[in-house]
Homo-oligomer: A and B are copies of this chain.
Amino acid sequence: MTDTASRPGPGRPPSMTDPVGSILGAAAGLFAGKGYEGASLQDVARAVGMTKAGIYHYFGSKQDLYDAIVLSVLSDMLENAQAAVAQADGHDTRLRAFMVSHGRYLQENHDKYRASFIGRAGGDTTGYTENQIDARRNYTRFLEQIIRDGCADGAFETDDVPTTARGILGMLNWMARWYQPTGPKNAAEIADGYATLILAGLAPR
């Protein structure tokens, strides 16, 4: 469908569009829609106006391609979250900034996000590389630290920080399954609503 590159024949002039970028984009769309196993490299090649062998010129394997997507998503999300949180002051504001930043990323990178979070079936460790697991852990730890800091200052109250963090990420990540950009609220707004709910839940009584 996304057929940006024309094919004037073998030995084409320097392609206007960065091929790595369009491969990544097409792959993200397909993994998001049909899943990692469900989408073939044939599909990706077709979407990008190339052959399967052409893709192997840029990526060593299907897994490599998927890796590149997930890693970029995770590192971008962490970077965004850090920037957003750094600008916020107060524990409530910080947690809200984290969650809204997460929602905004989904909103602006729907395919990549979905590919990363629901692109593969099975558990958290199935088919994910070490790098991916590390990146996920970094992101999770960052959220946990926000919560922990809030607890230390008496702004939040929880008896189990990791489980709370997982719950928050669950609300957010599950959006990948149902969120549609055409809905009445955008993802950042939804995340903001969830932040309000969670913040009230975490308030010490």
What is A's interface to B at a CB cutoff of 8 Å? 31-38, 114, 118-124, 126-127, 158-160, 163-164, 166-178, 185, 190, 193-194, 196-203, 205
**What would be 23 A-B contacts, judged by CB atoms less than 8 Å apart?**
A31-B121, A33-B126, A35-B35, A35-B120, A35-B122, A35-B126, A37-B121, A118-B122, A118-B123, A119-B121, A119-B122, A158-B197, A163-B190, A166-B178, A167-B171, A167-B194, A170-B170, A170-B174, A170-B175, A173-B174, A199-B201, A200-B203, A201-B201
A38/B170 contact (C-beta < 8 A), A200-B203, A201-B197, A202-B197 known: no
Distance, CA A85 to CA B129, complexed state (A): 42
B38 touches A121 (CB 8 A): yes
* Complex-state Cα separation, A168 to B173, whole angstroms: 12
- For the complex, would chain A's binding face be called helix, strand, loop or mixed by DSSP majority? helix
Contact assessment for B120 and A121 in the assembled complex, using a CB-CB cutoff below 8 Å = yes
A115 to chain B: closest residue by CB: B121
Complex-state Cα separation, A166 to B170, whole angstroms: 10
Which B residue's beta carbon lies closest to that of A197?
B201
Q: Which of B123, B160, B198 contacts A178 (CB 8 A)?
A: B123
Q: Point out the residues of chain B lying under 8 angstroms from A199, CB to CB.
A: 201
A41 shortest CB reach to chain B, Å: 14
For residue A178, which residues in chain B have a CB less than 8 angstroms away from its CB?
A: 123-124, 166
CA A52 to CA B190, docked complex, whole Å: 46
**A194–B171 Cα gap in the complex (Å)?**
11
Q: A37-B35, A170-B170, A171-B170 are in contact. Are A200 and B205 (CB under 8 A)?
A: yes
Which residues from chain B contact A123 at a C-beta distance below 8 Å?
A: 32-33, 114, 118, 176-178
